[in-house]
Structure 1
Amino acid sequence: MNDNYIIKTTGLEHRHTKGVKTLTDINLAVKKGEIYGFLGPNGAGKTTTLRLLLGLSKLQTGKIEIFGQEFGTNRIEILKKIGSLIETPSLYGHLRANENLEVYRELYGASKARLTEVLKIVGLDKTGSKKVKQFSLGMKQRLSVALALLPNPELLILDEPANGLDPTGIIELRELVKKLNKEEGMTILMSSHQLSEIEKMVSHVGIISKGEIIFQGSLHALGQLQKKQSSVLIHTSDDQLAMDVLKAYTPEYIGHAISIAYQDEQEIAKMSRALHEKQLDIYLLHPQQNNLEQLFMDLTTQHA
């Protein structure tokens, strides 16, 4: 296995007890230093995959390697280097932030100094005597992340960390994730069902739909795919003739306009010149570029 990979799964498959297949041939690849967004609709298989990575569900088919080691035979050693937040952790509302961490500190083998350090990292070191039940959702989520940070992990796995957060809480989470990656050197794998929530955080993306990976690569590569799916709407004084003039671009007639997929703005300029050469008046020339959220929706809808 390439030492550059922190997580690598091969042919991962899983079935529920009733025999329903939930994962098919999952080949996840997360490199050291990445913030990897694991995206998909609710029920797509994200949590099942993360539970397998943490040994919370039994591996049925396939292979899991973490930190270059086979998970099954090195489970305890590997888990010591992972921090995770899967579903909702148990927080004690009647206790303060530091008291909540103290409950788990010895379990994780962390020092009192580490407890103070993680509270500072997540920005909860000045909450004083404030009880957790008085915390906002964003503050509770940051405290949950602090719990995951107690063992000083190399890898942090977060399952739907933005769930239920208001815009302020999402911004706080975004800044925390970036800080952990940049300043603490952590590789981070985080799941979400909304690309718009985490596209400002992640460097790489894996999109899962109905238990299958339908895209995996850098956020830049996803952006390039978005550009390839862009189209321009054209309406002229004679759309039938325009269809013939632009037939090399495989035009489609939609409603009262022609829709043509394009790669770049130079192609639009060529189309415009071709129409002018045929003395066609152009009433509409409107480029339509999908945003990444729309592309995510299109990809998962097409796979449904």
Structure 2
Amino acid sequence: MNNNYSIKTTGLTHVHTKGVKTLTDVNIAVKKGEIYGFLGPNGAGKTTTLRLILGLTKLQTGKIEIFGKDFASNRIEILRKVGSLIENPSLYGHLRANENLEVYRELYGATKARLIEVLKIVGLENTGNKKVRQFSLGMKQRLSVALALLPNPELLILDEPANGLDPTGIIELRELVKKLNKEEGMTILMSSHQLAEIEKMVTQVGIISKGQIIFQGSLPQLGQLQKKQSQLLIHTSDDQLAMQVLHSYKPELSGNAISVNYTDEKEIATMCRTLHDKQLDIYLLHPQQNNLEQLFMDLTTQHA
């Protein structure tokens, strides 16, 4: 038993009824107390993975451990400590925020004091008599999170929570997630198809493409991968000779310039000195460092 992990999956493989394999050997590890971003293009297998973790889809191959315990053997005990928001939540538009939560309160075994508390946590305690159908999309999403918080979970799982939100709604969601993690001590697993939406929230990242995990690690580790994929464009007085001079960097022609990979600025300085020693004039020196969003796109495109 390993209590350092809130979620650990081993060899998850899933085939839909039509024979289409949607997951292949998916291994993800979410440490206790962290915010884990589960990233991938639409259709990559994120929701299927989350549904398996929550027991909403029958496990075919592999193993799932939650809080260090086998999920299949301890399902009810585990789910009492898990809150989730998967796909579109069931909200009643003709009811107020507190009335929506009251519908589920007894089902979750929550007190009325907890109901008031979660409304404060998500910032909806002052909506008065306003009906949910009058809420903005961001307010509805926060109410959905409040619903998931009713049982005071140790683990919160959110599937594409930023979908359809405007910039203000995304900022509100970001602050809420960070607050839940820091002040409530919750471990949070959240999926998204856009890295830019959640990179300011998460501490760990797992990237899935075509049903397979293609990266798992911290944001700094993803940043190191970003540096390895950085390119430098160079144009000189004799690019053919420059390619021979820089052959150890495996240069390639890119339009009217030479493209070489680099990992840090010291390498750029070394290349410049080498070209200067060969009496080559440098007309263009343009570093092109991928941002994390572009790197995410590159990784998933390469795997397609």
TM-score bracket for this pair, using the shorter chain length: over 0.9
Q: State the distance in 1 between where 2:204 and 2:279 align.
A: 47
One-letter amino acid matched to 2:36:
Y
Deviations 1:86-135 (A, max 9, x none): 01111111111101100100000000000000000000011111111111
Whichever residue aligns with residue 26 of structure 1, its letter is V
Q: Which residue of 2 aligns with 1:140?
A: 140
- Gap regions ≥5 residues in structure 1: none
Task: Give the whole-Å Cα distance in 2 for the aligned partners of 1:248 and 1:28.
Answer: 37
SS, match of residue 259 in structure 2: strand
Q: 1:23 corresponds to which letter in structure 2?
A: L
Shift of 1:180: 0.3
Distance in 1 of aligned mates of 2:19 and 2:73: 26
* Matching residue of 1:124: 124
**In structure 2, the residue corresponding to 1:113 is in which secondary structure?**
helix
For structure 2, which runs of at least 5 residues remain unmatched after alignment? none
Q: What CA distance in whole angstroms lies between the structure 2 residues aligned with 1:185 and 1:285?
A: 47
Q: Aligned partners of 1:232 and 1:89: how far apart in 2?
A: 47
Partner of residue 25, structure 2:
25
Q: Deviations over 1:158-208 (max 9, x none)?
A: 000000100000000000000000000000000001111111111100000
Counterpart CA distance in 2 for 1:71 and 1:92 is: 31
- The residue type equivalent to 1:256 in the other structure is N
Q: Distance in 1 between matches of 2:89 and 2:296?
A: 29
1:31-79 CA-partner distances (Å, limit 9, x unpaired):
0011000000010000000000000000000000000100001000000
1:34-49 equivalences under 5 Å are 34-49=34-49
How much has 1:253 moved relative to structure 2? 1.0
- Give the AA of the match of 1:286: H
Cα separation, 1, equivalents of 2:71 and 2:140: 31
Partner of 2:113: 113
Mapped to 2, the partners of 1:60 and 1:43 lie a distance apart of 19
Q: Which amino acid aligns with 2:219?
A: L
CA distance in 2, matches of 1:176, 1:106: 25
- Superposed CA RMSD: 0.6
Q: CA–CA distance in 2 between the matches of 1:254 and 1:98?
A: 60
Which residue is 1:220 aligned to?
220
In structure 1, how many angstroms separate the alpha carbons of the residues matched to 2:59 and 2:85? Answer: 20
Q: Name the counterpart of 1:83.
A: 83
Q: Would you identify which runs of 4 or more consecutive aligned residues in structure 1 move more than 4 Å?
A: none
Aligned equivalent of 2:250: 250
So what's the TM-score if we normalise by structure 2? 0.99
Query: Cα deviations across residues 211-265 of structure 1 (Å, max 9, x unaligned)?
Result: 0000000111101100110010000000011111111111111111000000100
Task: Measure the CA separation in 1 of the matches of 2:3 and 2:95.
Answer: 42
Amino acid at match of 1:93: G
Q: Equivalents in 2 of 1:30, 1:155: separation in Å?
A: 10
Q: Does 1:55 align with 2:85?
A: no
Q: Residues of 2 paired with 1:248 and 1:91: CA distance?
A: 61
Q: Distance in 1 between matches of 2:118 and 2:176?
A: 11
1:270 aligns with 2:270: yes
Partner of 2:282: 282
The one-letter code sitting in structure 1 at the alignment partner of 2:37 is: G
1:207 aligns with 2:207: yes
Task: Measure, in 2, the Cα distance between the counterparts of 1:186 and 1:53.
Answer: 17
**Structure-1 separation of matches of 2:21 and 2:77:** 30
Identical-residue share of aligned pairs (%): 86
* Counterpart secondary structure, 2:106: helix
Q: How do 1:94-113 and structure 2 match up within 5 A?
A: 94-113=94-113
- Taking the aligned partners of 2:219 and 2:117, their CA distance within structure 1 comes to 32
Secondary structure, in 3 states, of the residue corresponding to 2:107? helix
